[in-house]
Amino acid sequence: MDRITLSQYRRILFFTGAGMSAESGVPTYRGKGGVWKEYDYEEYACQKAFDRNPEKVLRFHELRRQAVLDCLPHEGHRVIAGIPGVKVITQNIDGMHQRAGSEGVIELHGTLWRLRCDRCRTVVEDHGKSYETLKCACGAWLRPDIIWFGDMLDPVVVRKAKRSVEECDLFISIGTSGTVWPAAGFPALAREWGAYCIEINPEPSGGREYHRTIAGNAGAVLPELFIF
Ligand code: APR
């Protein structure tokens, strides 16, 4: 494999999706074994479902937290965390990058480890296997602080992410099907702003925005790819 000399780049950005966590044992959303094949998002991952039956939706997310805690970050996560000054934008809500030691991770789609009250705007960090409480002190149900189907992304987070994409000179996309917007537009944005763009995916998207495509798994490719 042609290796990348990291000192040639000043601003390296990793952009990750569910495939990044696949080798840790966290299922992807689409494709074989995908979460949305087993569960109907209209029952578990949209505001309407939460309004209809908050406890059912919370229990679903609690199960996902338990499944994630049973998994560990893999060597690929550790490689990313070990590159000084690197930026990470992830669509993942599992917190794996942080568990591997990455800092300042931009979580485009929120996180399993935070709840919020849409009535009084309280935000609660909660990292346990089970939720400490399902209700806010004000009496309303707490809602997983995640971007569900039909939700708007947080504009502050999107602005921050886009700025990082525009500033980077090496953009490495890993494990995303590139089907969910606005994230799906980030590779093209990076290329437009002059970054060298790479995709790592066992089933590459074939997107023309990539200068280079590496057909392989994140956990196998990342430890071999860089010259430090
Ligand atoms: N290494 C790299 N890529 C992998 C691996 C692996 N080991 N295993 C699978 N992949 C790739 C698949 O080929 C696929 O292209 O990961 C991608 C996973 O795609 P999706 O399941 O669609 O995940 P993602 O793109 O992150 O989904 C985006 O959709 O449902 C929403 O909010 C959810 O953040 C999620 C968003």
Answer with the residue of higher pLDDT: 55 or 205. Answer: 55
Asked whether residue 213 falls in the same domain as residue 194, the answer is yes
Q: Which residues pair with 16 in a beta bridge?
A: 90, 174
The pTM score is 0.97
What is the per-residue pLDDT across 184-203, written as a single tens digit (0 to 9) for each?
999 999 999 999 999 999 99
Q: Determine the atom of ligand 1 nearest the C-alpha atom of 28.
A: 21
User: Does residue 199's CB lie within 6 angstroms of at least one atom of ligand 1?
Assistant: no
Asked whether residue 21 falls in the same domain as residue 86, the answer is yes
- 205 pLDDT above the threshold of 90: no
Instruction: Say which CATH number the domain at 140 has.
Output: 3.30.1600.10
Average pLDDT of span 31-52:
92
Q: Write out the residue range of the structural domain in which residue 91 sits.
A: 1-25+73-109+153-228
Substitution candidate for ligand 1 out of 24, 30, 105, 224 with most atoms within 8 A of CB: 30
Say how far apart CA 97 and CA 45 lie, in whole Å. Answer: 23
DSSP 200: E
Give the sheet arrangement for strand 170-174, strand by strand. 106-107, 87-90, 12-16, 170-174, 196-200, 212-214
Asked whether residue 90 falls in the same domain as residue 198, the answer is yes
Q: Which of 97, 105, 95 is nearest to 79 (CA)?
A: 97
- For tokens 């002190």, what's the residue? 137
Local confidence band at 6 (pLDDT 50, 70, 90 cut-offs) = very high
- For tokens 């089907």, what's the residue? 179
> 103-106 long-range CB contacts below 8 Å, 24 or more apart?
106/157, 106/160, 106/161, 106/164
Say how far apart CA 117 and CA 102 lie, in whole Å. Answer: 28
Say how far apart CA 46 and CA 72 lie, in whole Å. Answer: 28
pLDDT of residue 194: 98
Asked whether residue 167 falls in the same domain as residue 217, the answer is yes
User: Does residue 111's CB lie within 6 angstroms of at least one atom of ligand 1?
Assistant: no
Phi, psi of 25 (to 5 degrees): 105, 0
Q: How many domains does the chain have?
A: 2
CA distances from residue 74 to 37, 82, 84, 220 in whole angstroms, order as listed: 25, 13, 18, 10
What is the per-residue pLDDT across 46-71, written as a single tens digit (0 to 9) for each?
999 999 999 999 999 999 999 999 99
Local confidence band at 86 (pLDDT 50, 70, 90 cut-offs) = very high
Average pLDDT, the chain: 96
Instruction: Say which CATH number the domain at 92 has.
Output: 3.40.50.1220
Local confidence band at 44 (pLDDT 50, 70, 90 cut-offs) = very high
Asked whether residue 218 falls in the same domain as residue 202, the answer is yes
Asked whether residue 196 falls in the same domain as residue 220, the answer is yes
Alpha-helical runs (H) found in the chain:
18-22, 35-38, 41-44, 47-52, 54-69, 75-81, 96-99, 155-167, 186-192, 218-225
User: Does residue 17's CB lie within 6 angstroms of at least one atom of ligand 1?
Assistant: yes
Asked whether residue 162 falls in the same domain as residue 103, the answer is yes
Asked whether residue 225 falls in the same domain as residue 169, the answer is yes
Local confidence band at 5 (pLDDT 50, 70, 90 cut-offs) = very high
Say how far apart CA 205 and CA 8 lie, in whole Å. Answer: 26
Say how far apart CA 84 and CA 138 lie, in whole Å. Answer: 43
Instruction: Using DSSP bridges, classify how beta strands 226-227 and 4-5 pair: parallel, antiparallel or unpaired.
Output: parallel
pLDDT of residue 1: 86
Say how far apart CA 9 and CA 126 lie, in whole Å. Answer: 37
- 139 pLDDT above the threshold of 90: yes
Compute the distance from residue 175 Cα to the ligand 1 centre, in Å.
5
